[in-house]
Structure 1
């Protein structure tokens, strides 16, 4: 596998992109025949691939780093909440945190704004390729169409996120080479229709056998399925899904060098760094990549984000002594080196009771290797042991003993310091660092397992529960869970299975929003909410002044989050905030700066946020 190819050309293309967008015209006059001149840089397949590399590289930023943007997507759902309880600002009280003029792109608040700005950055790179495709030379039409298809995928990847996060947004399908201040919002449905057409082309022409991190045919197929489902074209989604899983079967036997580990299982193998590097892994369809000692690599920091803050100093022994230390001294036994056994977390991503307990049923998931009953896959605070050297030197009897939860633990500490977590999903060795936060690794964007669950959902919408159960059981039985029957199938069961399989992989908020729009568009009664029928009209609520509506029955996203989360709107609070969401948070606020600097046009604000009263009818995409 060529690990280096992903990074070739990143710096030149970044400089080129800056030059194209700069206001000073002299920036557009590089030396003749310089690689930075667009006419040279984008004159052949190599140059266009370099531009696509910028798109593929930037996909990684969603998952990597401290307070990675994917946390915002997960927190805006029913599976987890913000766990940072030592300051004001993090997204807990959404009525306060999610305002158009708030700090929407900050490690200490939220990454809602990141999705807007990074989304359009990806659109810009993709449009550069689309605009230059007919000016470049290729060895044949297959090469040309493959590059164009990959650019269509990258643009569609951003727009699929944008329309489910922000609704009606400006649609741009060409390169912009000078300042522009007259954008208008486009209709989300026509954006979806357009990117469906583009993805059909991509699915036809993009090859499947590509380097890790490159856009593949199957990745185009997965996104095509998602768009088809959003547009209620379930038959086409099923057709594509069947083709994908036929070409990319699930991994069903232990593999990689980890298979010799008696304390592991197929799931720990599948989510190891080794599995994401293994070219025999048939299940991975799209990856973002980061490799040790490769220029441009990054640390994923999943353990910092998703592991409890066990080293805060507030983990005490039953006799009141400080119980932990990190990093551990050199003479610490391996069994007590909590830093390298679990990673040094700070509890940013705090899972809900729904995710840590409710979906793991003793009668159906008792043998599920993804779940809480498997102590190789999941870890509990009671699995950790006190390792503070002062306990040993003072002959304290608690040294080396398992944690015991203090009866008087504060609300803040209960939220941030004490919860179980899916160790197998987030553990990424970090040997180049003293503190293990999560190292360098490829990461799954799409897997065949998700395709099976998408197929199951398609069958659900088509009122074919038997086929839905069959598709879900392909994933469940692989993990050791009890098979489901047609009688078990409902949207709640499908979402539960997605949570079991896709934690820290899927855009959970987007998937809930997509389903919310599908209920409203189809008028299908929602069985988990008493057969309620949702409507597209006022899906974000009534809007207007004091629009923090907290009423069930307006949209599925809100109903699902509030009914399953044991935090939001349940009166859970600490000294800095109370966990709250409202109906209109189904869509996020467009950053105020985006609207205010668009002097000659109108970008709509979403209903429920200040500024929505100035909205105009969104434009159709032709």
Structure 2
């Protein structure tokens, strides 16, 4: 089907999508699936909401190597990680490689995904008013979920790019006269929308749909963004108290009878995420083997993206000079390590902060035990002598001193989040991560957001209490008085590949500038900001400008915001989409509302 036929009324300007050459502007008869023919009943609008939900799935599943999973870039440009893949495929030196013309990196996919998500939501927002015979309650519930999806994507856009166009209605024809709008104005609009939405979103929905708790969770983020900290506390409290939710502190789900595991492990069992017994899940995505509506045919691809390239025998050597590891198929002794770890390619590589610093004095923290954390010291040489391996070292622990690429091939990681074994698709020579449901919002984050809101209100005792709720569940030592660093460290321990790490750090950088704390301000945001200073403090690769392959890891203060794609600016000939300061073209910016 022709793209224009399907979504004629919801095309965002060719200036807002990167692949403008693919937009068909020739007139065609409207297809049966055009909005005029589809979104004219309650059932049609509900089908539109399914499209909105599916749009979010593109963020979380698939192989970033094929430009299909942009979430890894929320970590690669943060305090927790960098890109592990060679710089010929991904960005290491942001100063040289991250430009408005960059096509090398899938981070640009966020621009496309965000605008498509807004497009789908706006179609429903505009069409819901035209449907006859629908009750006011149903209409408001449909409108509220559409508001949720629009606010979800704008929350990302305004912390990835800052000032962008504000589009709050269906765009029925191609437009080339968009103008950038201030980030603050956009966030206040999204906040107002979500204040309406939380009154009408249903409390009980099937897994995968958006409930009132999800609305309150997103509203908390928006309140934090605009500096309404008491409102953030109130929204988070409603989310925690009024929706039948609770932190899971007792065993549940598929492996509940396995005494060797623990409740944190239960939380991430592939089928446990959507289990009705799971009272911690707020908003989840469902990606299952054989399920109609999956966005990826090859599963989550988490092993591929997040596991080290341990099977690179040319880099993982034995002390007697042999290649030590392999992903070749068995059957032979040693192949079980392939089945356990998959064939990772180290799409992203954790910083020392993520691997070591946040785990100092972790005590009995279950998030760091063998159920939930893979210690690279347990990696073994698995290339057998029959495959040119070492007879002396086969089956023994890999010796770090003989790994020639410790950057990409040798590091620890949270196994409970990454090693997905379910389904036949994950078997064979190169297992890359089976299908799994995924948390988008989980109650643990709500507690940590409320802790942050309390911190900004200088209510340190209540901030500490909320952080300790999470730590106590994990059996970690409790804290006596938390700082902002403590809250962020807890997010890093608890929410790996659940939070948008870069977005959350940028949000805090804006708060620091808005409040004028520690010498930060909005006027000089591109040259001095908390985001950059934190990454220089916590991410050893950017701080030291670590040289890997043929390039160094380099970041500058203006990288707090990503460059607007050059094509988006030049195609928008009748308006002005500003470029972010620090990138070519910013000299042509005009003031925003």
C-alpha distance in 1, partners of 2:387/2:175? Answer: 66
Equivalent residue number for residue 527 of structure 1? none
C-alpha distance in 2, partners of 1:45/1:141? Answer: 12
Check whether the contact 1:605–1:612 (CA below 8 A) recurs between aligned residues.
Answer: yes
Deviations 1:586-618 (A, max 9, x none): 000000000011111110000000000100011
How many angstroms does 1:393 deviate by? 8.9
C-alpha distance in 2, partners of 1:450/1:346? Answer: 29
C-alpha distance in 2, partners of 1:380/1:391? Answer: 28
* Residues 1:386 and 2:381 are matched in the alignment: yes
Equivalent residue number for residue 7 of structure 2? 17
Q: 2:154 aligns with which of 149, 152, 159?
A: 159
Deviations 1:448-474 (A, max 9, x none): 000000010001000011000001011
C-alpha distance in 2, partners of 1:504/1:450? Answer: 12
Change (3 A) 1:95 1:132: same
Q: 1:603 aligns with which of 561, 566, 577?
A: 577
Task: Specify the SS of the correspondent of 2:551.
Answer: coil
C-alpha distance in 1, partners of 2:10/2:227? Answer: 39
C-alpha distance in 2, partners of 1:573/1:18? Answer: 48
How many angstroms does 1:418 deviate by? 0.7
Check whether the contact 1:185–1:604 (CA below 8 A) recurs between aligned residues.
Answer: yes
C-alpha distance in 1, partners of 2:140/2:4? Answer: 24
C-alpha distance in 1, partners of 2:134/2:10? Answer: 27
Q: 2:467 aligns with which of 458, 468, 472?
A: 472
Unaligned residue ranges in structure 1 (runs of 5+)? 1-10, 104-108, 525-531, 542-553
C-alpha distance in 1, partners of 2:320/2:278? Answer: 49
How many angstroms does 1:13 deviate by? 10
* Residues 1:186 and 2:186 are matched in the alignment: no
Stretch of structure 1 that moved more, 573-582 or 605-614: 573-582
Equivalent residue number for residue 6 of structure 1? none
C-alpha distance in 2, partners of 1:256/1:472? Answer: 25
Equivalent residue number for residue 43 of structure 1? 40
Change (3 A) 1:579 1:183: same
Q: 2:522 aligns with which of 536, 539, 548?
A: 536
Stretch of structure 1 that moved more, 570-579 or 158-167: 570-579
Q: 2:62 aligns with which of 38, 60, 65?
A: 65
Task: Specify the SS of the correspondent of 1:178.
Answer: coil
TM-score, normalised with respect to structure 2: 0.92
Q: 2:166 aligns with which of 151, 167, 171?
A: 171
C-alpha distance in 1, partners of 2:392/2:261? Answer: 31
* Residues 1:513 and 2:506 are matched in the alignment: yes
* Residues 1:414 and 2:414 are matched in the alignment: no
Q: 1:221 aligns with which of 216, 219, 239?
A: 216
How many angstroms does 1:260 deviate by? 2.8
C-alpha distance in 2, partners of 1:94/1:393? Answer: 40
Deviations 1:292-348 (A, max 9, x none): 112332211111111010112222222121222224412446xx5112212221111
C-alpha distance in 2, partners of 1:213/1:16? Answer: 24
Equivalent residue number for residue 96 of structure 1? 96
* Residues 1:309 and 2:306 are matched in the alignment: no
* Residues 1:522 and 2:512 are matched in the alignment: no
How many angstroms does 1:144 deviate by? 0.8
Equivalent residue number for residue 233 of structure 1? 228
Equivalent residue number for residue 482 of structure 1? 477
C-alpha distance in 2, partners of 1:496/1:325? Answer: 35
Equivalent residue number for residue 28 of structure 2? 26
Change (3 A) 1:177 1:367: same
C-alpha distance in 1, partners of 2:380/2:152? Answer: 44
Change (3 A) 1:12 1:474: farther
C-alpha distance in 1, partners of 2:111/2:545? Answer: 31
Q: 1:269 aligns with which of 266, 282, 304?
A: 266
Equivalent residue number for residue 584 of structure 1? 558
Stretches (4+) displaced over 6 A: 11-14, 392-395
Deviations 1:366-413 (A, max 9, x none): 111112xx1221112221222223358988132221222134x43xx1
C-alpha distance in 1, partners of 2:311/2:452? Answer: 41
How many angstroms does 1:223 deviate by? 0.8
How many angstroms does 1:571 deviate by? 3.3
Equivalent residue number for residue 488 of structure 2? 495
Equivalent residue number for residue 17 of structure 2? none
Task: Specify the SS of the correspondent of 2:349.
Answer: strand
C-alpha distance in 1, partners of 2:34/2:290? Answer: 30
TM-score, normalised with respect to structure 1: 0.88
Change (3 A) 1:473 1:178: same
* Residues 1:564 and 2:538 are matched in the alignment: yes
Equivalent residue number for residue 122 of structure 2? 127
How many angstroms does 1:12 deviate by? 11
Change (3 A) 1:13 1:428: farther
Q: 2:416 aligns with which of 418, 424, 429?
A: 424
C-alpha distance in 2, partners of 1:497/1:206? Answer: 30
Pairing of 1:320-469 with structure 2 (within 5 A): 320-332=321-333, 336-362=335-361, 365-371=362-368, 374-390=369-385, 396-407=391-402, 409-410=403-404, 413-430=405-422, 431-433=424-426, 434=428, 435-469=430-464
Check whether the contact 2:5–2:34 (CA below 8 A) recurs between aligned residues.
Answer: no
How many angstroms does 1:19 deviate by? 7.4
C-alpha distance in 2, partners of 1:265/1:14? Answer: 51
Change (3 A) 1:375 1:12: farther
Task: Specify the SS of the correspondent of 1:584.
Answer: helix
Task: Specify the SS of the correspondent of 2:25.
Answer: coil
How many angstroms does 1:24 deviate by? 2.9
C-alpha distance in 2, partners of 1:563/1:20? Answer: 44
Check whether the contact 1:523–1:533 (CA below 8 A) recurs between aligned residues.
Answer: yes
C-alpha distance in 2, partners of 1:385/1:573? Answer: 27
C-alpha distance in 2, partners of 1:380/1:506? Answer: 23
C-alpha distance in 2, partners of 1:140/1:272? Answer: 39
Check whether the contact 1:521–1:536 (CA below 8 A) recurs between aligned residues.
Answer: yes
C-alpha distance in 1, partners of 2:388/2:585? Answer: 63
Equivalent residue number for residue 74 of structure 1? 75
Check whether the contact 1:23–1:178 (CA below 8 A) recurs between aligned residues.
Answer: no
Change (3 A) 1:429 1:117: same
